[in-house]
Amino acid sequence: MTDDLATLRLLEQLIARRSVTPDDAGCQALVTERLAPLGFACETLLCGPDSFRVTNLWAVHRGSRPGPTVVLAGHTDVVPAGPLAAWTSDPFVPSHRDGLLYGRGAADMKTSIAAMTVAAEEFVQAHPRHAGSLALLFTSDEEGPSTDGTVRVVQALQARGERLDCCIVGEPTSVDRLGDMVKNGRRGSLSARLTVRGVQGHVAYPQLARNPIHQLAPALAALAATTWDDGNEHFPPTTWQVSNIHAGTGALNVIPGTVEVDFNFRFSTESTPEGLKARVDALLQQHGLDYSLAWTLGGSPFLTRPGSLSQALGDAIEAECGIRPVLSTTGGTSDGRYIAPICEQVVEFGPINATIHKVDECVRVADITPLKNIYLRTLERLLT
């Protein structure tokens, strides 16, 4: 296990590429250039229309003995930087200040991409005849709609009859210090657009109109007050939240004809999409609304119970950081939801997430090599 600047230098190169989703901006080519000479079979899958072209990388190194297929997964795309004037330094120029490396994607998740790549390099160099297979799955469509990224690679693997055994997704899961939290599952995400129809009219003659906002208000309060489930030992209770409300013409004297409400469930394994939909419908019907619903299932919940992967990763974190991670299922969704159907064990682990998607996103320089070492130690446990 080397203690050099290889991971930092690769990370700086990655940050310098403006890979705003879905543009990979050459990040995956950098990875391929490093892995291909070491015997990795590197396959690039270009997916999606020309207007939203997604780059996916599937790189595999086959060992010489039977063993599991272990995957390191992540995304090379980043969210937009926002107003450049708000940043202390250019978000696409890696900048060092006070022990921190600043740049868009530093935490989410180019540090993990760099650490995984260098860990894979060092592992194969040290163990060229390892057991099983080591693979890397990187996409440029995680921060966007996620329709042509990891899900498309998984579909291709399914068509080939390939199954995975263990996967670490490099999401930034650490909270206060590197290694304090590992995600061993995620809640599901179910969204909907509710349209309630009324009758447009003049505000001075409400008897000639029907205000859909007024009609919706009691139902909205009832939805907000509903307990959907109590969660379980692995998941917090299901939550329901409104994200947008749209109504009106902009004029102050017109009762709107419709109101649209966007809402989202983050649901545990105690609830199902079908059950949640049925309960929402029943409540809206009870309030006598003239409505329609358009549902979108963003992802189902998944859970990896403690096993060989969480044990190996936990031991690696303890050896490198001196702490034992907490297993958690909190937070949003990740591409783990697409991998879980063909992979028995999926966990997420990466750097501190305090600055993700923020202005002046950054990562502690002192955490970069330890993160690489954690991935490397985990590979050694599972594949040697």
Q: Which residues are annotated as a binding site?
A: 75, 108, 143, 171, 357
Rounded distance, CA 203 to CA 28, Å?
58
Which among 161, 187, 289 has a CA at the least distance from the CA of 239? Answer: 187
Q: What are the residues facing 137 on neighbouring strands? A: 58, 73
Nearest 5°: the CA angle 278, 279, 283 is 120
Contact at 8 Å (CB) between 140 and 85? Answer: no
Binding-site residues for Zn(2+), in ranges, read 75, 108, 143, 171, 357
Helix (H) or strand (E) holding 339: helix 336-339
The DSSP secondary structure of 45-82, one letter per residue, reads: EEES-GGG-EEEEEEEEE-SEEEEEEEEEEE--B----
Only one residue has tokens 């040290």, namely 126
Read out DSSP for 188-211? EEEEEEEEEE-B-EETT-GGGSB-
Residues annotated as catalytic (active site), given as ranges: 77, 142
CA atoms within a 13 Å half-sphere pointing along the CA-CB vector of 140: 25
Contact criterion met (CB below 8 Å) for 197 and 257: yes
Considering all CA atoms of the chain, what is the largest pairwise distance in Å, rounded to the nearest integer? 82
SS3 of residue 312 by DSSP:
helix
